[in-house]
Structure formats: structure tokens, C-alpha cells
Amino acid sequence: MKIVMLGAPGAGKGTQAKKIAEKYGIPHISTGDIFRANIKGGTELGKKAKAYMDEGKLVPDDVTIGMLLDRISEADCAGGYVLDGFPRTIPQAESLTEALRKRGEKLDYAIDVNVPDASIVTRMAGRRACLACGATYHIVYNAPKTEGVCDSCGEKLVLRDDDKPETVQKRLTVYHDQTQPLFQYYEQAGILKTVDGTQDLNQVFSDIVAILGA
């Protein structure tokens, strides 16, 4: 099963993608996590990406597309995957479609986790991230067992630099300008499914399972 998660920054794509990955036994691939791991590791890719990320901008397509296509060529992706944060532009979506077409494959679902902008800033202000393992929490809606500590790996949780309100606003503008055209793209492909992302996160997941099949 090959799935892409769509939705505004902070809509809950990562939260749901992790649950999908676990239930269906497929890898969860987040381009944001890959960039953050590179920043942490001090790689050239990380240095390049950081400048864009800190400003709430998208990392250029020429960097992002190759990185993602390499990742989905790895052996663990043979049985499918759930992509979180990719594609974010029409050229990214077209490159993915084309790369899959060459292998005689296609995406099965594009799932839109729909949350209005008004709820996004609150969500992001409360998000806490583990930069070691990629786990995500919310101080109110999905709190870790011990405040400030990752349940999965015990590392310290942080407020991401790009989750500060002024950067979130910029990211939302970028989202509406560059990412929203993907809805029409996947609608035309006949694979777009929308779920109400303002519900409790377990209810959002039930709605997704109803689409994907138990």
C-alpha cells in the first residue's frame, strides 16, 4: 500500500502516519524528519535545508525530490510506505508519479487530514518533538508520560524552531500557495480521501482505517 498524507503543517499528518505505519507494517517516511536528522548530523544536506526550514520556506525541489526517490528505492519500501510531508509542490508530485510509473506502480491513496488554519497555530505551539527518534507529542492533546521526555527513547523533547507562531504563519502561507494545488492533482487521479482532522486523534485514525481497510 502506497499512501501520501496531505494537510497543513500541524494537521496531524505525522501522528497519523506513524499509526498507519504500525498497523499496516509499512515504513513511515517523513522528509521533514530526514532533513532534521541531517541537520543534527551536521551534513551538507542538513546545512542547505536548515536555512530554508528556519524561515518557514520549502527546501528546493532539486534537493528534496532526489532524496525522497532514493529513500523509496530502498528494500524496506518494496511492500509500500506512507509518505508524510512529501509531495509539497506539483513538481514533487509529478516526479513521484513518473518515478512510480516507470516501475509500473502507482499511489493508492492521498489522505487529506483537514484542519482549518485557526486551529493550527495552537497545535504547533503545543507540539513537542523528539529530534532523536522523530516522535511527536502535544502538551495537552497527546502528552508524554513524563513532561519533556520522549516515551519511546528517553531523549529530551523540544519546541521546534519552525513551530514558533511567526514561522507557523509563514508556513501556512507557503502551504496555501504551493501545496494546496495537490488536492486537485490527486482528486483528478481519483485517489483523494479527506478526513476531519479536528477530531480526537484516535477518531481521526478510525476514519483513516475505514478508508484503507482493516
d(CA 155, CA 76): 26
| Nearest-approach distance from CB 79 to ligand ADP, in angstroms | 23
Q: Which does 64 bind (CB under 5 to 8 A by kind): ligand ADP, ligand AMP, none?
A: ligand AMP
Whether cis (ω within 30° of 0) applies to the bond prior to 144 is: no
Q: Which of residues 113-152 bind ligand AMP (CB under 6 A)?
A: none
Q: Does 197 interact with ligand AMP (rule: CB under 6 A)?
A: no
By CB under 6 A, tell whether 59 contacts ligand AMP: yes
* Catalytic annotation present for 88: yes
* Identified catalytic residue from 71, 160, 164, 170: 160
> What is d(CA 124, CA 9) in angstroms, rounded to the nearest whole number?
8
Distance CA 211, CA 205 (A): 10
Instruction: For the sheet with 109-114, list strands across it.
Output: 28-30, 81-84, 2-6, 109-114, 192-196
DSSP track, 155-184: PBPB--GGGSHHHHHHHHHHIIIIITHHHH
* Residue with the CB atom nearest ligand AMP in the bound state: 32
**15 is a site residue for ligand ADP (CB under 6 A):** yes
Q: Minimum distance between the CB of residue 19 and ligand ADP, rounded to whole angstroms? A: 10
* Contact of residue 162 among ligand ADP, ligand AMP, none (CB under 5-8 Å per partner type): ligand AMP
Q: Contact residues for ligand AMP (CB under 6 A)?
A: 9, 30-32, 35, 52-53, 57-59, 64, 85-86, 88, 92, 162, 171
